[in-house]
Amino acid sequence: MRKLKKVAGFSLIEVLIALAVLMFGLEAVIALQVAAIKQLQQARSRTAATQIASALMEKLKTCPLDTSAAPSTALLFQDSADIVYRDNPEDNKALLYDRAIGDGYVTWHRFRPIRTDGTILSDTATYGLDYPFVAAYSVEWGPVVSTGTEPSLNPGSNDELIQAGYPKQLPGYLEVYIEVWVGWVEPGEQFLYSGGTPMKTAWDYYTYMNSTFTGTPSYPSIFPKHKVKLASIRRIKISGGYQ
Q: What's the pLDDT at 64? A: 85
Q: What are phi and psi of 174, to 5 degrees?
A: 65, 30
Does 110 reside within a domain? yes
Distances (CA, A) of 100 to 8, 71, 88, 105, 202: 88, 9, 20, 8, 29
| Residues 158-182, mean pLDDT to the nearest whole number | 91
- Report whether pLDDT(7) > 80: no
Does 152 reside within a domain? yes
Q: Among positive and negative, which fits the CA dihedral 64, 67, 71, 77?
A: negative
Tens digit of each residue's pLDDT (9 = 90 or more) over 115-145: 999 999 998 899 999 999 999 999 999 887 6
Does 13 reside within a domain? no
DSSP 189: -
Q: What's the pLDDT at 110? A: 95
- Report whether pLDDT(147) > 70: no
Instruction: Between 37 and 190, name the one with better pLDDT.
Output: 190
Q: Which of 94, 100, 44, 42 is nearest to 224 (CA)?
A: 42
Tens digit of each residue's pLDDT (9 = 90 or more) over 18-33: 778 878 777 777 766 6
Does 90 reside within a domain? yes
- State how many domains the chain has: 1
Does 4 reside within a domain? no
Q: CB-based contacts of 178: which residues, under 8 Å, 6+ apart?
A: 57, 60, 61, 96, 137, 138, 139, 231, 232, 233, 234
pTM over 0.85: no
Partners of 110 in beta bridges: 136
Q: What's the pLDDT at 157? A: 80
Does 97 reside within a domain? yes
* Beta strands, E only, 47-204: 77-78, 84-85, 107-114, 133-141, 175-184, 191-192, 198-199
Q: What's the pLDDT at 243? A: 46
pLDDT above 90 as % of the chain: 39
Q: CB-based contacts of 121: which residues, under 8 Å, 6+ apart?
A: 112, 113, 114, 115, 127, 131
Does 170 reside within a domain? yes
- Report whether pLDDT(171) > 50: yes
Instruction: Between 151 and 9, name the one with better pLDDT.
Output: 151
DSSP 138: E
Does 220 reside within a domain? yes
Tens digit of each residue's pLDDT (9 = 90 or more) over 218-230: 898 889 999 999 9
- At residue 72 the predicted structure's pLDDT band, cuts being 50, 70 and 90, is confident
* Paired sense of beta strands 77-78 and 84-85, if any: antiparallel
Structural domain containing residue 151: 45-235
| Residues 93-120, mean pLDDT to the nearest whole number | 92
The pLDDT mean for the chain works out to 83
Distance CA 201, CA 193 (A): 13
Q: What's the pLDDT at 26? A: 74
CB 140 within 8 Å of CB 192: no
